[in-house]
Amino acid sequence: MLTFASARTDDPIAADLLTRYFTEREDTFPSAQGSYRVKLPDPSQFIGDRGDFVIVSLDAAAAGCGGIRRIEDAADASGRPIVRFEVKHLWLDPASRGHGTGRALLNELEGRAAALGARQLVLDTNESLTAAGGLYRSSGYRTVEPYNDNPNATHWYAKDVTAS
């Protein structure tokens, strides 16, 4: 059974999952792009109305994590603000991949962001994460211009969402 639970990013289970995520990225980051730069998440960005950090469990065992955090609003063509949240640190244990768990986690994060008022979700990723890029595109994310200066990113995506 798949379950989702909010946690602080400095919770021991969340911290372990994030460490495993960052270690995997450091180990697999394309050498032609330099070194992967780890930036630990600030727990305050993933709580309350600012965001949420989620641990996904499969049969009661932690299988992965991901978060959403509010970032600077964008503006629509009329200049009205668009509330944006960013998807961050979506990661699954290798044994949990390929079974729809990543899509379920992404859907959960999207729903939580919409409940917090998001009208657009954005995320960045690296071209070496081909499965992640495929997941985002098949989930309705479209390529956009960079919205941040993440040195690890090569691709940026956005998806419009509606309130739940």
Task: Evaluate if pTM is beyond 0.85.
Answer: yes
Predicted local distance difference test score (pLDDT) of residue 163: 63
Nearest-angstrom CA–CA distance, 59 and 31: 36
Question: What is the structure's pLDDT at 162?
Answer: 81
Pairing verdict, β 2-6 and 120-125: unpaired
List the domain boundaries for the chain: 2-160
Q: pLDDT band for position 6 (50/70/90)?
A: very high
Is the predicted pLDDT of residue 20 greater than 80, yes or no?
yes
Q: How confident is the model at residue 164 (pLDDT cuts 50, 70, 90)?
A: low
Homologous superfamily in CATH for domain 2-160: Gcn5-related N-acetyltransferase (GNAT) (3.40.630.30)
Q: What is the pLDDT of residue 46?
A: 98
Which helix (H) or strand (E) segment is 108 a member of? Answer: helix 101-115
136: its two tokens:
């985002």
The pLDDT score that the predictor gives to residue 142 is 98
CA atoms within 13 A on the CB side of 121: 26
